[in-house]
Amino acid sequence: MLSALEQYDPQIFELLTQEKARQSGSIRMIASENYVSKAVMQATGSCLTNKYAEGYPGKRYYEGQQVTDLIETIAIDRAKKVFGADHANVQSYSGSVANVAAYSTLINPGDMIMGLSLVNGGHLTHGWKASFTSKVYNSVQYSVDPQTGLFDYGQIEEFAKKHRPKIIISGATAYPRQIDFEIFGEIAKRVGAYHVSDIAHISGLVVAGIHKSPVPYADIVSTTTHKTLRGPRGGMLLCKAEHAAAMDRAVFPGLQGGPHMHTVTAIAVALAEADTPEFVQYARQIVANAKRLGEKLMEHGFNLVSGGTDNHLLLIDLRNKGVAGKKFAKALDRARIVTNYNTVPGDTAPPFNPSGVRLGTPAVTTRGMKEPEMEMIAGFFKRVIEHIDDESVIEQVARESLLLCSRFPVPDHFIIPRDGSHGAGRD
């Protein structure tokens, strides 16, 4: 029997088949990527795709919301529980939309925001010059110490005192160390600013208690719902009770119309999975894998920004190797190892051909790989960099990568609550 997609659109079906094979047969190390469970995938592709639900539970603008109200309420309650937040909004279409909603909740257009610069590991929506956020708001950018790759909190405070922003943004997309959200909160208070924390990359580690939570120290916390949290592609906001009504208005009707209820449904499933002992074990293994991978890479002569990692990602500075990040990332891709080229602190190379490569361990950890496999992967990196212009070596590494992937097939499901219930894993 042909599937509906295969019968109606064989071209797209074939491309999806190829992509599934690529994800299965590659060592996927992009720090923002992962594999969702079969349950999350099923919710994402459910009949909720058909439903409009403008508004919020109990206050919709369309009829027929008997089920959607229940689903969104469940998602909100689960988010509040696992993050320990007063209020949650699960409607944002993405992390970028969530960030803009957070700013518009607290300040006005033209006010100043202060975030980590893109070249130092921040996000476009933290006020970078190419982003809409730098056009709506005045923005200034702090950086990491170019020598250590770490935040200098004293310097950040002096920068904040100089510019007096209305919002200080903590969080990053390429910072491999623990972030002290409490200090960021204190700095914000001392300069009369709000504190917005973007934990898109580390939210799964925060839920599991592996990384310090910003919820007690930030006015608003934004996150994506995929990456380490291992849910669908979406966004979420958490805040203190005093900002709840304004934040909800900022999302709808401020920035978007009807929520994507199939995504909200999948977020609810992912949050149930996150509220289990198995998820905590997975999060711990993410960090253990990243640490071991970093140790072996350094043994092989790679320079790591900050000298290692505390979370799920590593940032390699290739300037000592004399190889551009883009060239190395593309060679790794041919070897069935998927990363992304990335700027590093103090980088003078152009952003489209920077000096670094960023990699992460969430996806390989979901597949069940542990420290021995990280050592093997570090060896692959060494061979590729040493023979970057020798396609025969890269082809051999590709074969070994495929063999490693065959030992760790992509799981259909990986969270089975012990008593058969959801959200009962952690007190």
Domain ranges of the chain: 21-35+280-407, 51-274
Burial class for 92, CB neighbours closer than 10 Å (0-12, 13-18, 19+) = buried
Pick 21-35+280-407's CATH classification: 3.30.930.10, 3.90.1150.10, 3.90.930.60, 3.20.20.70. 3.90.1150.10
- Residue 426: which pLDDT band, with cuts at 50, 70 and 90? very low
Which of 6, 33, 52, 73 is catalytic? The answer is 52
For residue 122, the model assigns a pLDDT of 94
Higher pLDDT, residue 417 or 209 = 209
Q: Is 198 helix (H, G, I), strand (E, B) or coil?
A: strand
Which of 60, 80, 81, 233 is catalytic? The answer is 233
Which of 56, 105, 125, 198 is catalytic? The answer is 198
What percent of the chain is modeled with pLDDT above 70?
96
For residue 412, the model assigns a pLDDT of 78
Catalytic annotation present for 284: no
Q: Which residue has the tokens 């999060």?
A: 283
Query: Mean pLDDT, the chain, as a whole number?
Result: 95
- Residue 2: which pLDDT band, with cuts at 50, 70 and 90? confident
For residue 425, the model assigns a pLDDT of 43
Is the pLDDT at 421 greater than 70, yes or no?
no
Residue type present at position 162: K
Q: Give the whole-angstrom CA distance, residue 310 versus residue 374.
A: 16
Which of 6, 54, 278, 375 is catalytic? The answer is 54
Catalytic annotation present for 227: yes
Catalytic annotation present for 275: no
Dihedral over Cα of 266, 272, 278, 281: its sign:
positive
Burial class for 59, CB neighbours closer than 10 Å (0-12, 13-18, 19+) = exposed
Query: What phi, psi does 133 have (nearest 5°)?
Result: -65, -30
Domain 51-274 has CATH 3.30.1490.70: no
Which of 227, 326, 336, 358 is catalytic? The answer is 227
Torsional class of 88: left (φ above 0), alpha (ψ -120 to 50), beta (otherwise) = beta
| CB-based contact 221:85 (threshold 8 Å) | yes
Q: Give the whole-angstrom CA distance, residue 353 versus residue 344.
A: 11
Is the pLDDT at 29 greater than 70, yes or no?
yes
pLDDT digits (tens, 9 = 90+) for 219-266: 999 999 999 999 999 999 999 999 999 999 999 999 999 999 999 999
Catalytic annotation present for 224: yes
Is the pLDDT at 420 greater than 50, yes or no?
no
From the list 123, 160, 377, the residue with the least C-alpha distance to 385 is: 377
- The first and second tokens of residue 101, run together, are 């909603």
For residue 414, the model assigns a pLDDT of 62
How many alpha carbons fall within 13 Å on the CB side of residue 306? 23
Q: Which residue has the tokens 């904040």?
A: 160
Q: Rounded to an integer, what is the distance from CA 248 to the centroid of its chain?
A: 22
Catalytic annotation present for 198: yes
